[in-house]
Amino acid sequence: MCGFVGFSNIKENISNNINVLKGMTNTLQKRGPDEEGFFTKEHVLLGHRRLIIVDADNGKQPMSATYQNNTYTIVYNGQLYNTKDIRKKLIDKGFEFSGYSDTEVILKAYINYGTNIFEKLNGIFSFAIWNEQKKELILVRDHFGIKPLYYTIVDNTIIFASEVKALFKHPQVDITLDSISICELFGLGPAHTPGNGIFKNIYELKPAHFLLWNHSGFHIHEYWKLESKPHTDSLGMTCDKINYLLEDSIKRQLITDVPLCAMLSGGLDSSIITAYTSNYYKQNGLPPLETFSIDYIDNDKNFVKSDFQPNSDNYYINIMKNKFKTNHHNIIIDTPELVEALEDAMLARDYPGMADVDSSMLLFCNNIKKEATVALSGECSDEIFAGYPWFFREDALNSNTFPWSIALSERQNLLNPEISKKINLKEYIDYRYNESLSNVAILETDSPDTAEKRKISYLTIRWFMQTLLDRSDRMSMYNGLELRVPFCDYRLVQYMWNIPWNMKALNGREKGLLRYVVRKLLPDEIVDRKKSPYPKTHNPSYLKVVKEKLNKIIENPNAPIYDLLNKNYIKEILDTNGSAFTRPWFGQLMTGPQLMAYLCQVNMWLEKYQPKIEI
C-alpha cells in the first residue's frame, strides 16, 4: 500500500524536472512512510512512496522489467488478492519472478495479457505503467475506486498522483474553483461526481477505467461494469454462493507480512469478518485475532436513539469478543481531539469531508496503527446487501434525488444570495442524478420492486459507497495503515447485483438475505440486531465547540468562506443548534453539528489551498 506520482510529455524532453518530481512525491510520505523511489526518462518521470506490506526486499518501486527488448516500468498503490493464481499462469507461460510481491505480478501480467488483465485483477489498486518502446503511459484504477488516482493535462503534459495535493506541487497546475466546484461542495458534498476532482481541470480516473497516453493523445476506456442478467439460482444455491464468495474474499485478504487486525463494532458486517477471520486463525494455529472498536467519552450517557442509530455498540462488541476470543482494544476519543482532527481529516482528503465522521476515523486509524499495519473493515456491505433505511423508506424512494441528501432547498439556502442567483444547485444535482440513472440496465424480467431497487442500488454503490471508500482510504493511509474491504470483492458485488429484491430483502428486513446466510455463524443477538451505522459522538460539548468555531468564522469578514455563505441562514442554524436545517443533510449521521463542522472544514480548506475562485 503506497502512493505514487508522475508526469509525461511525449513531445518534449522533461527529464530534468527531478526536483519537481521529488517535491510531488514528498507530499505522499504519510501514504508510504517506509521507502521512496524515482524513475526518470526523456518523456516520463515517476515517483513512489512505499508502505511495506509484502516482500520487503523484492517489492521496491518504481519496478522495471524487460521483455522482448522492451522495458516496462510500474508505480503501484494497492494490494492484489489473486496474486498466486496469476503468478502460476505466468510461470506456466515461461515468466520468472525475483520475489513474491504483487507489484511484480501485475507488471508481468500486463506485459503478457495487456489491458485484458485488468478486469481479472482481484484487489484494491491504482497504478501507472510506462512502455518505453511505444512511449506510452497507462493509468488504471480498480473496479470500485477503492484506491485513488487523480490527473490533469496542461500544455501536452499529463500530471497524475494518488492524491490531489501532489498535483499542486507541479508548477503548471493551478488551484482554481469554478461554479461546478461550488455545486459539488454545497450541492453534493461531501459526495462528489465520479470523475470530478472538484478543483477546476482536476479529474479522477473513474473506477474500472484505464487511461492511455501516447503520441495520439489520451484515451479513456471502461474495462468492467456491473452486468444486469436474470438470477436463476434457488435460495439455497444463492446462499451457498454468497457464503463461498464471502469466505473466499476474507481469506484472500488475510495475506500479509505485517500485523493484521479487524475493526469490530458489534454490527452484522464487522462481526461477519471477525467470525470468519477468527475461525481461520484458530484452524491454522495462529494467535487470537486483534480487534478494535471506537467510542467517545460520555457517549453512553448522552446517547439518544433514532431511526438511523437505534442502539449503541458496547453490548454487542462484548458478545463477539467473548464468543470468538479476540484480543479486543476499545479506543476512546474525546471531544477536543475530535475537533482538532477536523483539519487533518480535511488535509487527508484534500477536500472538506464527513466532518467528525472523518476525523474520528482518522483518530481511530492512528490508534490502530500502533498495533497493526493492516486492518479489515466491514465497509460496503450496506451498499450491496441493501442495509440503508433509504432502500425501504417511501420518502427517500420517492424523493427523485440522491436519497442520502434530500435537503435540496436547505443546501441552496446556504449560499450567499448573490451567488445563489447565479448557481442553481438543484439543476446541477438533477443533472448528475439523471446522468447516473441512465447507466442502469433494467431487465424486462425485473419486477417493479427489483427495477426500482436496481436504480437505488446503483446510485448507492457509485456515489455513497465511493464517499465512504474515499474516507476509509484517506483516513487510514494518512496514518500509514492499509484498510481492506472484503465486502467490496467485485465477484460478490456482481453476484448480488442481480439477486431479485424479494430475495435480497428476505423477511422484509434490511440485509435480510445476508442475515439468513450467516445465521449459523454468529450469535442470534448479532444476526437480529437492527443496523447501526459507524458511531458518532453524542456529547453536547462537540456541538458547543463547532458552534463556537463557525460563529467566529461568519463574524470575520476576512474569513475565506465569508462571501460564499448566507450569513442570516447560518446564524439561524447556529441559534437553533442546527435544527433550522430540518433533516440530516447527508447520509444517516450528519445533522446540525456535522453541518457546522463541514462549513468549518470548507473554511479551513480555503485557507490552506488558497484557490482562485471563478464564479
Q: Known catalytic residues?
A: 2
Strands (E), 217-297: 217-222, 260-263, 290-296
Assigned C-alpha cell, 368: 490502530
Q: Tell me how far CA of residue 75 lies from CA of 36, 50, 164, 563, in angstroms.
A: 11, 10, 17, 42
Q: Taking phi first (over 0 means left), then psi (-120 to 50 degrees means alpha), and beta for anything else, what does residue 320 get?
A: alpha
**Which has the closest alpha carbon to 26: 16, 36, 18?**
36
Could you give the CA distance from residue 609 to residue 593 in angstroms, rounded to a whole number? 24
Contacts of 72 (CB under 8 A, 6+ apart): 64, 65, 66, 107, 110, 111, 129, 130, 131, 132
Pair 471, 358: CB distance under 8 Å? yes
Q: Tell me how far CA of residue 370 lies from CA of 215, 297, 500, in angstroms.
A: 47, 21, 44
Could you give the CA distance from residue 184 to residue 181 in angstroms, rounded to a whole number? 5
Output the DSSP codes for 197-238: -SSTT-EEPPTTEEEEEETTEEEEEE------------HHHH
Pair 51, 480: CB distance under 8 Å? yes
Could you give the CA distance from residue 259 to residue 52 in angstroms, rounded to a whole number? 11
What is the DSSP code (8-state) at residue 389? G
Altogether, the residues listed in the chain come to a count of 615
